[in-house]
């Protein structure tokens, strides 16, 4: 019995020893090959987790899409000669050998990324070397066929495949293929128009030495945004993520004082309420008017001017005197009617409503300075919407960024339609204001916005020069400014509204001097596209 007991015990121990040795062999010698084999056979988990639908422009051109890539990893526990392996990998990938060696030596566990998104030639070189512990994983990452075009609007996607900003973030569930009811997103953006706007915005920003620039093109009849550009662009590379402050859509969230471009609200209110007449003359006070406890200045001293010339010359004094007739309450009401102080309703989360304090919080000078764009904060989308309302005969439209969502077969799941918010002013008021804005460009502060090669295509618009507020010293900067030009064309049959903004151009700057030429260069190129658009009597989408 003792002999039988020892034989059984010996057999059990021998079996466990064999299993233990086999386990060590599988986990040690065979581990790298088995992991690589499993990754080749089962890459689906990673791909599905990060796969996203496409973002297309209005004509179906892809702006963002998911592509398959290979990423290299190493199992540090299988690497015996770490210095040798670090040298081999550094030679192929071109990174710093010492830096990677330090990472390899400090690594805990059995997994360390070497390089994500490896090009095919480099991957083949690594495979030929057959380095123990080095393998590849199949991944899905975002690809941008048109580079960083519309980068702020498209938004950033992290390494985990989650959208963090812009369209990618606001419609993350729609774009994520694992979320259920989802599909490709088609924007209202026209890639061709976007390219033109970005090219000219870059030119103007660099020429003026501005800190940054923004521009937007909108169809005034449908509210569809055809281009939304920012300079400089933001990184969309997951390996080189943008700063947290850049994870936003400036045209929807950046709030600024509009300056004289806001004068269309004051002028519209005066015309609509019949508070001014064409023949009436206003005293320009020779460029300086003391009212309450402030002195309002004009950039060009004028003694007397008509109502039209108040806008054509962009007189702060004349505008303030008109606001005195309108009164604080009515001025506030018209600002709200034009869409200021409320969220525009673009459909993208995070949009700002701007700053428009209730009349109860206005000071004794507020109605004067608000009339020419101080003490109020607006966004570029709001400003474009106000000018579109003038262009289309007086109706505020909801801004549209999404055109439709389609399934994998191209069938429409959801489609946007133009949506009227409200009538702001009567058609005759719109016509009168358009005439004045046309004269701004013909003989006023906006002459640099004239389409030179086709004088028959007239532009209606307004310049803006807003000094930036110095919160530390509670005053406006003398040299730091935000300049703009807002308008639409052709003036007699509006088809496009455009806003151009430059933030902190170098030296003394004016909207008519620096922003208007950018507007003109874009308008001259876009005018050739107007044939494909609707006419005023039969509005339809582009």
* DSSP codes, 3-50: HHHHHHHHHHHHHHHHHHHHHHHHHHTTHHHHHHHHHHH--HHHHHHH
Whether residue 280 contacts residue 270, with contact meaning beta carbons closer than 8 Å, is answered with: no
What is the mean pLDDT of the segment spanning 315-334?
Answer: 97
The answer on 196 and 166 residing in a single domain is no
Question: Which pLDDT score is estimated for 141?
Answer: 87
What is the C-alpha separation between 540 and 305, in angstroms, rounded?
Answer: 40
Position 502 in a domain = yes
Q: DSSP string of 220-286?
A: TTT-BEEEEEEES-----TTSPPPGGGSS-HHHH--B--GGGGHHHHHHHHHHTT---TT-EEE-GG
* Residue 185 binned pLDDT confidence (cut-offs 50, 70, 90): very high
**Lowest-confidence pick of 8-12, 143-147, 462-466:** 8-12
Question: Which pLDDT score is estimated for 44?
Answer: 35
pLDDT tens per residue across span 441-469: 999 999 999 998 788 899 999 999 998 88
**Lowest-confidence pick of 19-33, 83-97, 104-118:** 19-33
Position 24 in a domain = no
pLDDT tens per residue across span 277-302: 988 999 999 999 999 889 999 988 98
Question: Which pLDDT score is estimated for 138?
Answer: 87
* Residue 239 binned pLDDT confidence (cut-offs 50, 70, 90): confident
- Residue 486, pLDDT > 70, answer yes
Position 33 in a domain = no
Question: Which pLDDT score is estimated for 39?
Answer: 43
The answer on 360 and 330 residing in a single domain is yes
- Residue 439, pLDDT > 70, answer yes
Position 39 in a domain = no
The answer on 74 and 200 residing in a single domain is no
Position 52 in a domain = yes
Question: Which pLDDT score is estimated for 13?
Answer: 62
Rounded to 5 degrees, φ, ψ at 406 are -125, 155
Position 30 in a domain = no
Question: Which pLDDT score is estimated for 538?
Answer: 46
The answer on 112 and 74 residing in a single domain is yes
What is the mean pLDDT of the segment spanning 406-425?
Answer: 93
Position 160 in a domain = yes
The answer on 227 and 154 residing in a single domain is no
* Residue 534 binned pLDDT confidence (cut-offs 50, 70, 90): very low
- Please return the burial class of 409, using the count of CB atoms within 10 Å of its CB with bins 0-12, 13-18 and 19+: exposed
Best-predicted range by mean pLDDT (144-148, 158-162, 236-240): 144-148
The answer on 177 and 198 residing in a single domain is no
CA–centroid distance for 504 within its chain: 19
Question: Which pLDDT score is estimated for 177?
Answer: 87
- Residue 29, pLDDT > 70, answer no
Whether residue 406 contacts residue 412, with contact meaning beta carbons closer than 8 Å, is answered with: yes
Question: Which pLDDT score is estimated for 15?
Answer: 60
265 vs 120, more confident: 265
- Residue 431, pLDDT > 90, answer yes
Q: How many domains does the chain have?
A: 2
Rounded to 5 degrees, φ, ψ at 266 are -65, -45
The answer on 490 and 442 residing in a single domain is yes
- Residue 243, pLDDT > 80, answer yes
Instruction: Calculate helix-pair angle for 263-272, 328-337, nearest 10 degrees.
Output: 110
The answer on 339 and 220 residing in a single domain is yes
What is the mean pLDDT of the segment spanning 227-243?
Answer: 93
* Residue 144 binned pLDDT confidence (cut-offs 50, 70, 90): very high
**pTM confidence score:** 0.85
- Residue 82, pLDDT > 70, answer yes
Question: Which pLDDT score is estimated for 454?
Answer: 82
The answer on 290 and 141 residing in a single domain is no
The answer on 497 and 445 residing in a single domain is yes
What is the mean pLDDT of the segment spanning 214-243?
Answer: 95
Q: How many CB atoms lie within 10 A of CB 531?
A: 6
* Residue 480 binned pLDDT confidence (cut-offs 50, 70, 90): confident
Hey, which residues does 228 pair with through a beta bridge?
Answer: 216
What is the mean pLDDT of the segment spanning 116-145?
Answer: 91
Rounded to 5 degrees, φ, ψ at 488 are -150, 160
Maximum Cα–Cα distance across the chain: 128
Coil, strand or helix at 274: coil
Best-predicted range by mean pLDDT (177-181, 324-328, 533-537): 324-328
* Residue 38 binned pLDDT confidence (cut-offs 50, 70, 90): very low
What is the C-alpha separation between 299 and 463, in angstroms, rounded?
Answer: 13
E runs forming strands in 75-169:
112-118, 134-143
Residues contacting 415, CB < 8 A, separation 6+: 403, 404, 405
- Please return the burial class of 345, using the count of CB atoms within 10 Å of its CB with bins 0-12, 13-18 and 19+: middle
E runs forming strands in 374-510:
395-397, 402-406, 412-415, 420-423, 460-470, 475-489, 496-503
Share of the chain above pLDDT 90, in %: 74
The answer on 311 and 392 residing in a single domain is yes
pLDDT tens per residue across span 341-350: 999 999 998 8
What is the mean pLDDT of the segment spanning 490-517?
Answer: 95
- H/E run at residue 367: helix 366-370
Coil, strand or helix at 136: strand
Task: Tell me the average pLDDT of the chain.
Answer: 89
Helices (H), 78-216: 82-93, 97-106, 120-129, 151-154, 166-170, 172-175, 191-208
The answer on 264 and 326 residing in a single domain is yes
Rounded to 5 degrees, φ, ψ at 311 are -85, -40
Question: Which pLDDT score is estimated for 27?
Answer: 58
CATH number at residue 152: 3.90.1310.10
Question: Which pLDDT score is estimated for 452?
Answer: 85
Position 524 in a domain = yes
What is the C-alpha separation between 461 and 17, in angstroms, rounded?
Answer: 88
Domain range for 179 is 44-187
What is the mean pLDDT of the segment spanning 258-262?
Answer: 97
Question: Which pLDDT score is estimated for 28?
Answer: 53
What is the C-alpha separation between 201 and 215, in angstroms, rounded?
Answer: 7
């Amino acid at each position: 019995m003792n002999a039988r007991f020892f034989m059984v015990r010996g057999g059990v121990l021998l079996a466990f020893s064999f299993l233990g040795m086999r386990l060590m062999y599988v986990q040690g010698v065979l581990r790298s090959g088995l992991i690589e084999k499993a990754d080749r056979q089962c890459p689906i988990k990673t791909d599905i987790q990060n796969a996203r639908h496409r973002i297309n422009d209005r004509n179906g051109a892809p702006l963002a899409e998911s592509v398959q890539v290979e990423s290299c990893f190493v199992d540090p526990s299988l690497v015996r000669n770490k210095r040798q392996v670090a040298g081999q990998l550094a030679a192929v990938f071109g990174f710093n050998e010492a830096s990677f060696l330090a990472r390899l030596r400090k690594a805990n566990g059995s997994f360390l990324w070497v390089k994500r998104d490896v090009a095919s030639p480099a991957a083949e070189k690594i495979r030929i070397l057959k380095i123990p512990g080095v393998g590849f994983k199949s991944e899905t990452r975002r690809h941008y066929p048109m580079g960083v075009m519309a980068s702020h609007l498209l938004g950033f996607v992290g390494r985990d495949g989650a959208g963090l900003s812009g369209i990618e973030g606001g419609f993350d569930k729609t774009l994520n293929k694992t979320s259920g009811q989802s599909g490709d997103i088609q924007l209202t953006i026209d890639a061709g128009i976007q390219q033109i706007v970005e090219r000219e915005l870059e030119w103007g920003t660099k020429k003026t030495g501005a800190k940054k620039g923004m521009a937007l093109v909108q169809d005034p009849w449908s509210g569809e945004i055809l281009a939304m550009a920012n300079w400089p662009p933001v990184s969309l590379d997951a390996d080189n993520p943008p700063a947290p402050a850049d994870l936003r859509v400036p045209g929807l969230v950046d709030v600024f004082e509009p300056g004289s471009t806001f004068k269309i609200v004051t002028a519209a209110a005066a015309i609509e309420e019949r508070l001014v007449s064409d023949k009436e003359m206003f005293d320009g006070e020779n460029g300086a008017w003391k009212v309450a406890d402030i002195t309002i200045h004009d950039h060009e001293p004028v003694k007397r001017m008509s109502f039209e010339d108040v806008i054509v010359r962009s007189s702060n004094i004349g505008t303030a005197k008109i606001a005195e007739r309108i009164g604080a309450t009515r001025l506030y009401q018209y600002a709200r009617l034009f869409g200021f102080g409320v969220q525009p309703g673009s459909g993208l989360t995070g949009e700002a409503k701007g700053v428009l304090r209730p009349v109860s919080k206005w000071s004794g000078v507020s109605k004067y300075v608000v009339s020419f764009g101080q003490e109020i904060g607006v966004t570029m989308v709001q400003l474009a919407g106000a000018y579109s309302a003038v262009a289309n005969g007086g109706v505020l439209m909801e801004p549209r960024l999404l055109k439709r969502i389609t399934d994998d077969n191209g069938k429409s799941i959801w489609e946007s339609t133009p949506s009227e918010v409200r009538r702001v002013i009567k058609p005759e008021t719109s016509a009168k204001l358009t005439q004045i804005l046309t004269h701004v460009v013909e003989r006023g502060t906006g002459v640099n916005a004239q389409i030179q090669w086709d004088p028959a295509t007239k532009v209606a618009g307004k310049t803006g020069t807003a000094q930036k507020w110095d919160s530390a010293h509670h005053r406006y900067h003398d040299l730091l400014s935000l300049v703009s030009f807002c308008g639409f064309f052709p003036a007699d049959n509006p088809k496009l509204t455009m806003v151009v903004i430059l933030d902190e151009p170098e030296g003394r700057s004016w909207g008519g001097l620096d922003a208007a030429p950018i507007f003109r260069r874009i308008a001259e190129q876009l005018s050739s596209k107007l044939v494909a658009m609707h006419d005023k009597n039969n509005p339809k989408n582009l």
